[in-house]
Chain A
Amino acid sequence: MRWAFDPRQGLIVVRAEVFGPAGSAVVSLALDTGATGTMVNHSRLMQLGYDPSAVPERVQIATGSGIEFAPRLVVSRFASLGRVRTAFPVLCHTLPPATGVDGLLGLDFLRGHQLLIDFRAGSIALDDGP
């Protein structure tokens, strides 16, 4: 299956559904092959019943502007690009509003698959590969 995006401008925005104790949220994430970890907005995780402030694990994240620390918690279920992960770890960090997205879909979600980004057709495929 192929997933559409706007190839002419901006970030590659994909949809994801994140599940938690309080329900589920459909959010927009930027597909980011420069990010090793998937990241979700702090408030969105709070809405889903998680408490990032109570998570003991803080990991260093290297950004373009320096090193920051962010909680990493495990969401019960995470779906995007036709793939579903259970017990999937996500970084809890909020990107600037100007990005227009609620986080990043990182390499940890993509590993083990074949990712095809077609900038002519504006489509993404995440397959099992040959």
Chain B
Amino acid sequence: MGETLTMAEIEAQFSAEWVLVADPRTDDALELLGGHVLYHSRDRDEFDRKVLEFHPRRFAVVFTGRPQAGMEFVL
């Protein structure tokens, strides 16, 4: 299992990536404070496939990117 990182460290090391975090530390609002990074990828489809190989009991998934400039969302 990877080393324990804070959320600031996760964002700095894995910029604009999808990150699988095991044993996440969260606050009352479920905001991620840190945890063990198990896997990360810029490609969400690849991320979705690979994370099925990991089996943490409690985990978090976070995208460290920002909305693409000029893109509007109509979900």
Binding site for B on A (CB under 8 A): 1, 3-4, 9-11, 15-17, 22-28, 30, 32, 34-35, 41-44, 46-47, 63-64, 79-80, 82, 94-95, 97-102, 104
| B73 engages A25 (CB within 8 Å) | no
| Residue picked from A17, A47, A63, most chain B C-beta under 10 Å | A47
| A41 engages B67 (CB within 8 Å) | no
Give the CA-CA distance A99 to B74 in the complex, in Å: 10
Given A15-B30, A17-B30, A43-B48, A104 contacting B73 (CB threshold 8 A): no
| B57 engages A23 (CB within 8 Å) | yes
Tell me the residues in window 50-73 of chain B with beta carbons closer than 8 Å to chain A beta carbons: 51-52, 54-63, 65-68, 71, 73
| A41 engages B48 (CB within 8 Å) | yes
Per the CB 8 Å criterion, the residue count for chain B at the interface is: 34
Q: When the two chains form the complex, which single residue of A23, A28, A34, A102 contacts B75, counting CB atoms closer than 8 Å?
A: A34
Confirm or deny: B13 has a beta carbon within 8 angstroms of a beta carbon on chain A: no
Given A43-B48, A79-B30, A80-B30, A102 contacting B73 (CB threshold 8 A): no
Min CB distance A12 to B, Å, is: 10
Chain B residues, CB < 8 A from A28: 61-63
Q: Which 5 A-B pairs have the closest CB atoms?
A: A15-B30, A97-B44, A43-B48, A26-B60, A10-B67
- Nearest B residue (CB) for A44: B61
| Residue picked from A11, A15, A63, most chain B C-beta under 10 Å | A15
Chain B residues, CB < 8 A from A35: 75
Given A34-B75, A64-B74, A98-B68, A24 contacting B58 (CB threshold 8 A): yes
Min CB distance B21 to A, Å, is: 8
Give the CA-CA distance A4 to B29 in the complex, in Å: 9
Given A47-B52, A94-B48, A97-B45, A27 contacting B60 (CB threshold 8 A): yes
